[in-house]
């Protein structure tokens, strides 16, 4: 099954590396820079996985995660917190908020693939 991955990060360079890795594996990649665009893409496309930056402008990644989790049509979407905040307490908070996994920047290919599995 082909993954349809949405990468949400307000810094374009943070979207480039995971996008290149995943495109090279045959995944379909969608990118955007804020929560409003993310929610619009979720409604328009068949997204299976989301790499979601925590520190987004206007609406945090945690708030977007909660919105996605409250939408029954998106209950199977795998949500990965994509963040520079990797302290153990923060990781636990992200998982408690509804994320399936946490991917700490800067990323490594192995960690990206593990998080999406």
Domains and CATH numbers, the chain: 4-116 (3.40.50.2300)
Q: Classify burial at 49, counting beta carbons within 10 Å of its beta carbon; exposed 0-12, middle 13-18, buried 19 or more.
A: buried
> Is the pLDDT at 45 greater than 80, yes or no?
yes
Nearest to 4 by CA among 49, 68, 71, 69: 49
Residues 55-72 have pLDDT tens digits of: 999 999 999 999 999 999
pTM of this structure: 0.95
For the chain, state the CA radius of gyration: 13
């Amino acid at each position: 099954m082909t993954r349809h991955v949405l990468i949400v990060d307000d810094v374009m360079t943070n979207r480039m590396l995971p996008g290149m890795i995943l495109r090279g594996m045959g995944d379909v990649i969608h990118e955007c820079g804020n929560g409003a665009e993310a929610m619009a893409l979720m409604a328009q496309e068949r997204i299976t996985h989301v790499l979601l930056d925590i520190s987004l402008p206007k609406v945090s990644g945690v708030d977007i995660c909660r919105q996605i989790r409250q939408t029954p049509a998106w209950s199977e979407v795998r949500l990965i917190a994509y963040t520079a905040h990797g302290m153990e307490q923060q990781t636990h908070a992200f998982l408690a908020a509804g994320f399936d996994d946490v991917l700490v920047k800067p990323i490594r290919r192995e960690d990206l693939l593990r998080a999406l599995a």
